[in-house]
Amino acid sequence: MKKRTRLAAVTLLAAMLLVMTGSMALAQDNVTVTVWSWRTEDEDAYNAIFDVYEAANPGVTVEFVPFVNTDYNNILATGLTGDGGPDVVQLRAYGGLQPLIEAGQLMALDGKVSNLSNFTDAILKGAQGRKDGQTYGVPFGVQALGAFYNVGIFDELGLSVPTTWEEFISVLDAEAAAGYIPLANPAKDSWMLPILHDAVAAPRYGGPEFQAAVLAGETDFNDPNYVASIQVIKDLQPYLPPDVVGVAYNDSRTLFISGLSPIFIGGSFEIGFWHSEAPDMEVGMFMVPPPPDSVTDSLVPSWMDGSYGVNARTDSPDAALALVDWMGSPEFGQLFSDKVNQISPVAGVTPTDPLLAKFAEGMVEHPASYLLLVDFRYGDPSGSTVMGNEIQRLFLGEVTAEEVAGSLQTGISQWFVPAGAG
Amino acid sequence: MAESTLQNEPNGRPLIRRRNTMMPSRLTIALFLLPALLLYTIFMVYPLVQALIFSTFEFNGLNRGDFVGLQNFQQLFTRYPISEQLPRAFVHNIYFFIGTMLIQNTLGLLFAVLLHRPRFGKRFFRTVFTLPYLISPIVVGYLWSLMLNPLFGPVNSTLRNLGLGALAKPWLGDPATALPVVILVNAWMWMGFPMLLFGAGLAGIEDDLREAAKIDGASNRQIFRWIELPLLTPVIGIVSVLTFIGNFNAFGIVWALAGTDGSPAGATDVLGLVFFRTAFRGEADAFGLASALAVLMFLFIFSISVVVQTWFRRLERRMQ
C-alpha cells in the first residue's frame, strides 16, 4: 500500500516535470513581446511593421498596445511598477523619461544593443539618463520645425517661397491684401507658442551658438539677442488670426486646410494630418528666412521625439532586447518612415514622402535644437511651459519681450545649473 | 413620549405611528453600519490619510523617497512659478464662488419660485432646467468652447448677423471675459440643482402660512420676503455649502473650457488645475508637492464648510 503510494507520487512528479519542461520549451520557442505606446493613430502602421519582424523571427509574436496619449504617462508609470507589465515601452524624450530612469524601471541598453551605433550623440541624448549618462531607449523618430504653405494660394497670388525676411513680410502683406489670414498659428494652446518662436526666431538669437553659451553659463535668457528674438514674434502678431489668444490649435489647423490661411508654422508631425484631412491640397514647406540682425543663417530646429526601451522587470529580456535592437536597424527606420510618415533618426534612412524629405534635408543642412524642449524640460517648471504662458501675455499686451525673457530665466533657474557654475 | 400620547385623526388612523418598542441590539446596529463604514474607510479615510502621509515625503516618480517634514508645504509658497500661481488660483476660486452664488443660485431660487405655483408646463420646464447637469462637465465645456469659438462659433456669428458685431468678442481668449464666461457656463450647467432644492423647500412650507398671510393682506412679494425666504434658510445653508465645496474643487469644466494652464495666460486658473498640473505634468518629485496642495485644499474647504454650517444652524435656531 505504502509502496504503491510512493510509486504513484513518483509517477505524478515525473509527469508534472515532463509537462513543465514541455511548456518551458514551448515558451522558449513562442515568445510574445508586448509593446506599449501612446500612438493610437499609428496602430495599423506598427502592426504592419511588426509583421515584417515576426516573419523574419518565427515563434516571436509582437503585440502592440496603444493607449490614449494624454493618459499614457500615468498608465506607463503604473504598468512598470508591478508584474504583468509590458516588455518594450515607448518612452518620451529628454526630461520626459527621467522619472522612470530614476525609479529604476528601465533597463540600461549600453553594450546590449549594438544598433545604438546607428544614431548620432545628439539624437541619443534624448534617450539618456541625465544623471548617469546611460542610454535607456532606441530612438524612433525625429521632429523638425518649419513653415507649411498652401501651394494653390501661392500660385493664385503669384507668390514665391520667400528667401529673405523682406520677402517673407511682403508675402504676408500680399496674403492679407487678398483677404487671407496670413499666418494660421494659434495662441490659445500655449505649447504651440515656443514652437512658433523657435521656428521663426532661432536664427535671431543664434541657435546652436546660443545653446552652447547658455548651457555653459556664459549667457542667460536675458541676453539682448534672445529678448530681440521674442520681439520678432510680437511684431508678427498683426499677421496672426484676430484675437489670437482665443484661437485654439485645431482652429488653426482648420484655417490652414480650409484654405482661409495660406501659412501654418509648426512641426513635421503635422504632415500626416495634412495628408489625411486635406488629401487634395498641395502643401509645401520652407524655412522661415532669418529676421533682421540675425546671429546665424536660417535654421531647422529639431528634436528627438522618443524612443523604445525595455522594462527592467520584463519576463523575456532576450526577446525584448532583440526587438529594440531591430528597431535601431535601417530596415525598421525605413519601414517607420514610410508607414508612420515621420522622420527616422537611423543613419542612412531617407523619407519617401517629399514633404517629409524636405524637413529631413533641412534638418541635416541647417541643424539646430528646439532649445526649450531639448535642454530645458529636465525640471519644473519647464522652459517651454513658462515661455508658452508668457508669450500669451505678450500677445495680450500685459508684458514686454524683456519681461517674457526674465520670467523664463526665473523659471528655469529653479532647477537649472549651468555647467560653468559647477 | 410619542407612544403614550397616541393621537387619532377623525377617521381613526393614528396620526403618529407607534414606534416599535423592541430596540435593535447594538450589535445589529453595528452590523448594519459596517458596510457603509467599510466603503467610507476604503475610499475616503484611507486616501485622505495617505495624501497626508505623501505630503511629507519626497518622490521619485511613483517611488517614495525620504521623509522631508513640511518642506513640500513650504515649497508651495516659495517656489516659482507655483508660488505665484497658487494665490492667483485661490482668488479665482473666490470669484468663482461669489459669481456662482449671485448668478446660479439666485436664478435657481427665481425659477423655483416661478415654477412653484402650479401652472401649465411646470414639469416640462423643471426637466429642461435640470437637463444640463446630467451631461458630463467635459462635454458641456467642449460644447460651449465650440459655441464661443471666435472664428467658427455660432455665438459671435449670430451677434454679427444681428448687427452687434461690436459685441463679438474672443470670449475665452480675453482675460477680462474668460473667467466670467466660465462662471456663466458653469451656472448654465448647474442652475437646475439649486432650483430643485429650493423647489422642495418651497413645497415643504405649509400653505396655511401663505393663506394666513394673504388674509392679513400681504402681497405675493411680501409673502416671499417675510414667509418663504426665512423658512428657506436651511436650504440656503445647504446650497451655499455645496456651492462652496463644488467651486473650490472645480476642475472638469474649467479644464474643458480653458485647458490645463487656465488660458488665456492663467486668467481662468483655479486650484484644481494647479493641483492637476503639479501632480501629472510636473517633475519626478511631483506627488509630494501635489499631496501637500491637496491636504491644504481639504483643510480649507472642510473648516470653512463646518464654520458656515454651524452659523446657518445657529441662524435657524434663532428664527425658531
Chain B positions in Cβ-Cβ contact with residue A73 (cut-off 8 Å): 280
Averaged pLDDT for residues A113-133: 93
The three state secondary structure string of chain A is CHHHHHHHHHHHHHHHHHHHHHHHHHHHHCEEEEEEECCHHHHHHHHHHHHHHHHHCCCEEEEEEECCHHHHHHHHHHHCCCCCCCCEEEECCHHHHHHHHHCCCECCCCCCCHHHHHCCHHHHHHHECCCCCCECCEEEEEEEEEEEEEHHHHHHCCCCCCCCHHHHHHHHHHHHHCCCCCECCCCCCCCHHHHHHHHHHHHHHCHHHHHHHHHHCCCCCCCHHHHHHHHHHHHCHHHCCCCHHHCCHHHHHHHHHCCCCCEEEEEHHHHHHHHHHCCCCCEEEECCCCCCCCCCCCCEEEEEEEEEEEECCCCCHHHHHHHHHHCCCHHHHHHHHHHHCCECCCCCCCCCCHHHHHHHHHHHHCEEECHHHHCCCCCCCCHHHHHHHHHHHHHCCCCCHHHHHHHHHHHHHCCCCCHHHC
- Residue A59 pLDDT: 93
Interchain CB distance below 8 Å, A396 and B283: no
Q: Is the peptide bond before A208 cis (omega within 30 degrees of 0)?
A: no
Is there a contact between A245 and B170 if contact means CB atoms under 8 Å apart?
Answer: yes
Question: How many CB atoms within 10 Å of residue B147?
Answer: 15
- Grid coordinates in use for B56? 511629507
Q: Which residues of A touch B61 (CB under 8 A)?
A: 77, 99-100, 102-103, 105
Where does the pLDDT of residue B140 fall: very low under 50, low under 70, confident under 90, or very high at 90 and above?
A: very high
- Average pLDDT over every residue of B29-39: 93
Mean pLDDT of A204-211: 96
Residue B173 to residue A100, Cβ atoms within 8 A: no
Q: How confident is the model at residue A26 (pLDDT cuts 50, 70, 90)?
A: very low
Confidence of residue A419 (pLDDT cuts 50, 70, 90): confident
Of B60, B149, B259, the CB nearest to A251: B149
Banded model confidence at residue B11, pLDDT cuts 50, 70, 90: low
Query: Residue range B42-53: average pLDDT?
Result: 92
Beta bridge partners of A60: A31
CA distance B105 to chain A (A): 29
pLDDT given for residue B7 in this prediction:
47
**Chain A contact present for B65, CB below 8 A:** no
Which of A78, A247, A386 comes nearest B81 by C-beta? A386
Q: What percent of chain B is modeled with pLDDT above 90?
A: 64
* High-pLDDT (> 70) share of chain A, %: 92
Nearest-Cα distance to chain A for B188, in Å, is: 21
Q: Is the CB of B316 inside 8 Å of chain A's CB atoms?
A: no
Please give the average per-residue pLDDT across A203-215, as a whole number.
Answer: 96
Per-residue pLDDT at A217 exceeds 70: yes
What are the chain B neighbours of A242 within 8 Å (beta carbons)? Answer: 150, 170
The yes-or-no verdict on residue B291 having pLDDT over 70 is: yes
Measure in Å the smallest separation between the Cα of B298 and chain A Cα atoms.
24
The verdict on a CB contact (< 8 Å) between B150 and A247 is yes
Contact B266 A243 (CB under 8 A): no
Tell me the pLDDT of chain B averaged across its residues.
88
| A103:B63 CB<8 A | yes
- Whether chain A has a CB inside 8 Å of the CB on B108: the answer is no
Average pLDDT over residues A149-155: 97
∠ CA B186-B187-B192, nearest 5°, is: 120
Q: Could you give the percent of chain B with pLDDT greater than 70?
A: 90
Q: Which of B58, B59, B62, B273 to mutate to test the interface with A (most CBs of A within 10 A)?
A: B62
pLDDT per position as a tens digit, A290-337: 999 999 999 999 999 999 999 999 999 999 999 999 999 999 999 999
Are B80 and A410 an interchain contact pair (Cβ–Cβ within 8 Å)? yes
**B204 near A CB under 8 A:** no
Task: State the pLDDT at residue A25.
Answer: 42
Smallest Cα distance from A353 to chain B, Å: 32
pLDDT band at residue A81 under the 50/70/90 scheme: confident
Q: How many CB pairs under 8 A join A and B?
A: 101
- Is pLDDT at A370 greater than 90 in this prediction? yes
Complex-level ipTM beyond the 0.90 threshold: no
For all residues of chain A together, what is the average pLDDT? 91
